[in-house]
Amino acid sequence: MSRIKLKYVDSFTDRYGVRRFYFRRTKKDKRIMLPGLPGSDDFMSAYQLALDGQPPIARTKEGSPAAREVVPCSFDALVLRYFASPEFLALKTPTRKAYRLAIERIVRDDKIGPLKVADFRREHLKAMMAKRAETPSSANDTLKKLRILLKFAIDISWRRDDPTIGMKKFAEGEHHTWTEEEIALFEERWPLGTLQRTALALLLYTGQRVSDVAGMSWKDVNQEGTAIHVTQDKTGTKLWIPIHADLMSQLNEWPRHSATDAMLYTEYGKPFTAKGFGNKMADAIEAAKLPEECVSHGIRKAASRRLAEAGCTAHEIASITGHKSLAEVERYTKAASQQMLSQAGIAKLRAKVVPNSVS
């Protein structure tokens, strides 16, 4: 019989002869007891929580299905199986944390834990979406997480159909795309050589998300200094992005720190976290007295707009921004494309000579 070897897991036999398993990353850490046997749903769910640095599920009063009596083939049971599945474990740690919190919140708030998965109907889903109608992003995320769970339920033969198929998402407000005037206002407030100006240049000339720019390092620049390699935090997409001459000139105004290879660093010489960098940009935008709709993500959209205005195709833009969907790129650059097409269309009309009016 083969044994399951799991990192940071050890065991001992207690005085009653029962084999106990626990998680401990280092000898300085406290032991975290793991329920059941390695490979079981409860064990693997608790193990994954420990790996993610979250409190053991046994401490949860009602947020986790593991703290309730689990009805067979219910949503509680499905969630436990999903959290222990290869599909879930293959996700990146930040994604696993976000998915776990969102799924447990949905199951708790909508009280569907004891509900048999096979009894879940489209009417249930519609009611859950309607409940969140005033916050479309929350409603759409609920739909997304339920679609993941129900697809998993089909894979393990707990139901045959997917009631989320054909369910439309709610319309969400789009992030405002920064205009050239707004970019100029930011640059006027933050001159060359400042952290804020350098951050803007990286966001604007690479078209990346805040989380990816926060993690950029000089180690990722090729030997010629002409391109930077990026692995997107959200999607895992690997990109090779040429460094624009204007970006390089602005990077040259920002001193490198001897204690870190990070392109952007805090006042203490430490690399930024994604959240810390996002907060820093929010403060910089506010200090520049830009309109409230100007947020950091709008700079990524401005980068796409600039590329579109330069005549780049959707494929060329996606090769830089890393978008998987060309439709998303086209949505970002819709205004620029309309302007260019209208100009090209008018230019193709042959001019007519209008005779002077006869007096």
Q: Is residue 351 part of a domain?
A: no
Indicate the number of domains in the chain: 2
Q: Is residue 357 part of a domain?
A: no
Residues 204 and 102 in one domain: no
pLDDT tens for residues 41-83? 678 877 888 887 776 654 444 455 555 567 889 999 999 899 9
Q: Is residue 166 part of a domain?
A: no
Residues 184 and 327 in one domain: yes
Residue showing tokens 């690479």: 206
CATH number at residue 225: 1.10.443.10
pLDDT tens for residues 194-210? 999 999 999 999 999 99
Q: Find the Cα–Cα–Cα–Cα dihedral 249, 294, 230, 223, rounded to 10°.
A: 0
Residues 311 and 200 in one domain: yes
Domain boundary among 155, 171, 197: 155
Q: Is residue 356 part of a domain?
A: no
CA nearest to 212, candidates 192, 185, 241: 241
Domain of 50?
9-155
Residues 78 and 145 in one domain: yes
Domain boundary among 121, 155, 189: 155
Residues 339 and 199 in one domain: yes
**Residues 222 and 229: beta-carbon distance below 8 Å:** yes
Amino acid at 135: T
**Residues 125 and 164: beta-carbon distance below 8 Å:** yes
Residues 288 and 150 in one domain: no
Q: For residue 71, give the H/E element and its range.
A: none
Residues 145 and 207 in one domain: no
Residues 325 and 206 in one domain: yes
Cβ neighbours around 154 below 10 Å, total: 14
* pLDDT of amino acid 355: 59
* pLDDT of amino acid 44: 80
Residues 131 and 275 in one domain: no
Q: How far apart are the C-alpha atoms of 326 and 163, rounded to whole Å?
A: 27
Q: Is residue 39 part of a domain?
A: yes
Residue showing tokens 């990353």: 25
pLDDT tens for residues 20-31? 888 998 888 888
Residues 137 and 198 in one domain: no
Q: Is residue 171 part of a domain?
A: no
Residues 95 and 211 in one domain: no
Q: How far apart are the C-alpha atoms of 206 and 208, rounded to whole Å?
A: 5
One pLDDT digit (tens) per residue for the chain, 359 residues: 345 578 889 888 877 677 888 899 888 888 888 887 777 767 887 788 888 777 665 444 445 555 556 788 999 999 989 998 888 988 888 788 888 989 999 999 999 999 999 999 999 999 999 888 878 888 899 999 999 999 999 999 999 999 999 998 887 667 788 999 999 999 999 999 999 999 999 999 999 999 999 999 999 999 999 999 999 988 888 999 999 999 999 999 999 998 999 999 999 999 999 989 999 999 999 999 998 889 999 999 999 989 988 888 888 999 999 887 787 777 666 666 566 666 666 666 665 555 555 55
Q: Is residue 161 part of a domain?
A: no
**Residues 78 and 117: beta-carbon distance below 8 Å:** yes
Residue showing tokens 């007096």: 359
Q: Is residue 188 part of a domain?
A: yes
List all residues 6 or more positions away from 98 whose beta carbon is below 8 Å from its beta carbon. Answer: none
CA nearest to 320, candidates 225, 226, 207: 207
* pLDDT of amino acid 96: 85
Distances (CA, A) of 260 to 1, 35, 201, 271, 281: 49, 42, 20, 7, 20
Residues 189 and 273 in one domain: yes
Domain boundary among 98, 122, 155: 155
At residue 11, the 3 state secondary structure works out as strand
**Residues 160 and 154: beta-carbon distance below 8 Å:** yes
Q: How far apart are the C-alpha atoms of 294 and 179, rounded to whole Å?
A: 9
